[in-house]
């Protein structure tokens, strides 16, 4: 009864969903998360929502997630698309944001993101450095999260997030979330996607991500620094090379 619900209550919740179907695992994940959330409320605030409310909340979250997935990812699967060798400009009206992470020194991680338009103009460049012991994949995901936070701040609604971390891009493109430290940040990224009209995740090889790569190595003033409509002078040559390489 730590959660405020008995085993019979939980079995009753599951029974309300009917027979075993393809969505049972998905519903189960949302149920487990909600039980944990309600457990904390019960332990610390001595509050517990009615069983029916919890069941309806889980079903609503499942429906919202499915609608989001259909809206964001429907028709976005591309078969046999090779990763770009160089930076490619987005179409007019779309903002492309390149991200990268740098394990600068022991206990220090640098995150970088640079946003550009269809002619290569810099819209913003942001760098963040903090003490952390993240593995590389978590750091790369954190850089993407930073990029999306700033894209939202700048009011961009149609964006491409581009990274040279292929595993992360693949996971996000498929909305593949499991249970790990990495998946916690991937879940936060996917939640942010609802703030955009259109968003996609793209993989580029290191040669097309030099601007973000070198940006992530910069030491900011304070923990985080952002440049609007320009970028640091040490990154400018890589931005120029990308622009000159456009067809």
Q: Which DSSP symbol is given to 204?
A: B
Residue 19 has pLDDT above 50, yes or no: no
Is the pLDDT at 23 greater than 90? The verdict is no
Point out the least confidently predicted range of 48-57, 73-82, 127-136.
73-82
CATH topology assigned to domain 95-244: Nucleotidyltransferase; domain 5 (3.30.420)
By the 8 A CB rule, do 144 and 168 touch? yes
Q: What is the pLDDT of residues 202-245, one digit of tens each?
A: 999 999 999 999 999 999 998 999 999 999 999 999 999 999 98
| Cβ 113 vs Cβ 146: under 8 Å | yes
User: Over the chain, what is the mean pLDDT?
Assistant: 84
- Strand 198-203's sheet: what is its strand order? 198-203, 158-163, 95-105, 108-116, 122-131, 224-228
| Mean pLDDT confidence for 105-126 | 94
Q: In which region does residue 45 sit, left (phi positive, over 0), alpha (psi from -120 to 50) or beta (all else)?
A: alpha
| 73 vs 138, more confident | 138
- Model confidence pLDDT, tens digit, residues 66-91: 776 666 555 444 444 578 889 999 99
For residue 28, the model assigns a pLDDT of 74
Q: In what helix (H) or strand (E) does residue 103 lie, and over which residues does it extend?
A: strand 95-105
Residue 20: pLDDT band with limits 50, 70, 90? very low
């Amino acid at each position: 009864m730590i959660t405020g619900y008995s085993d019979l209550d939980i079995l009753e919740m599951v029974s309300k969903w009917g027979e075993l179907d393809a969505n049972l695992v998905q519903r189960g994940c949302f149920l487990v998360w909600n039980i944990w959330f309600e457990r904390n409320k019960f332990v610390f605030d001595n509050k517990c929502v009615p069983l029916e409310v919890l069941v309806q909340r889980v079903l609503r979250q499942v429906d919202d997630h499915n609608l989001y997935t259909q809206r964001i990812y429907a028709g976005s699967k591309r078969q046999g698309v090779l990763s770009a060798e160089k930076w490619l400009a987005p179409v007019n009206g779309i903002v492309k944001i390149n991200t990268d992470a740098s394990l600068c020194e022991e206990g220090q991680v640098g995150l970088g993101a640079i946003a550009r338009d269809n002619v290569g103009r810099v819209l913003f460049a942001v760098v963040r450095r903090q003490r952390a012991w993240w593995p590389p994949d978590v750091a790369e995901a954190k850089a993407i999260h930073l990029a999306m936070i700033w894209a939202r701040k700048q009011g961009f609604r149609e964006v491409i997030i581009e990274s040279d971390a292929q595993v992360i891009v693949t996971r996000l493109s498929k909305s593949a979330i499991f249970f790990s430290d990495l998946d916690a940040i991937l879940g936060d990224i996917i939640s942010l996607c609802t703030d955009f009209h259109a968003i996609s995740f793209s993989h580029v090889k290191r040669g097309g991500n030099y601007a973000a790569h070198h940006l992530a190595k910069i030491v900011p003033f304070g923990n985080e620094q952002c440049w609007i409509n320009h970028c640091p002078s040490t990154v400018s040559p890589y931005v120029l090379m990308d622009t000159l390489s456009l067809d």
